[in-house]
A and B are shown apart, each in its own frame.
Chain A
Amino acid sequence: MTLQDILGNLYVFVLATFLGFEVIRRVSPLLHTPLMSLTNAISAISLVGSLVILGAQETTLTTVLGALAVTASTINVVSGFLITDRMLKMFKKREPGERGKSS
Chain B
Amino acid sequence: MEQLRTIGRELAMGSQGGWGQSKEFLDLVKSIGEARSKAEEDRIIARELEHLKRRLADPDVPRRKMKELLLRLVYAEMLGHDASFGHIHAVKMTHDESLPLKRTGYLAVALFLDERHDLVILVVNTIQKDLRSDNYLVVCAALSAACRLIGEEAIPAVLPQVVELLAHPKEAVRKKAVMALHRFYQRSPSSVSHLVSNFRKRLCDNDPGVMGATLCPLYDLILEEPNSYKDLVVSFVNILKQVAERRLPTSYDYHQMPAPFIQIKLLKILAVLGSGDKQASGHMYTVLGDIFRKGDTASNIGNAILYECICCISSIFPNPKMLEAAAETTSKFLKSDSHNLKYMGIDALGRLIKINPDIAEEHQLAVIDCLEDPDDTLKRKTFELLYKMTKSTNVEVIVDRMIEYMINITDHHYKTEIASRCVELAEQFAPSNQWFIQTMNKVFEHAGDLVNIRVAHNLMRLIAEGFGEEDEGADSQLRSSAVDSYLRIVGEPKLPSSFLQIICWVLGEYGTADGKYSAPYIIGKLCDVAEAHLTDDTVKIFAFEIALGRKIDMLPECQTLVDELSASHSTDLQQRAYELQALLGLDKHAVESVMPTDASCEDIEVDRNLSFLNSYVQQALENGAAPYIPESERSGVISVGSYRSQEQQEASAHTLRFEAYEMPKPSLALATSQASMSTPPADLVPIPEPGYYKEDHQISRSQPSGDAVSGEFGVKLRLDGVQKKWGKPTYSSSTPSSSASSQQATNGGSHSDGGGSTSSQVRESSYGSKRQQGTEISAEKQRLAASLFGSAPAKADRKAQASRKTAKESPSTEKATASSSAPQPVKEQVTPAAPPPDLLDLGDEPVSSSPPSADPFSQLEGLLGPASSTPVVSGTPATSSSKAPDLMSIFSDDVPTGATSGSTDPTLGDVNLMSSLKGATGVAAKKGPSLQDALQKDATARQVGVTPTGNNPNLFKDLLG
Q: Do A and B bind each other?
A: no
Chain B positions within 8 Å of A, measured between CB atoms, are: none
Chain A positions within 8 Å of B, measured between CB atoms, are: none
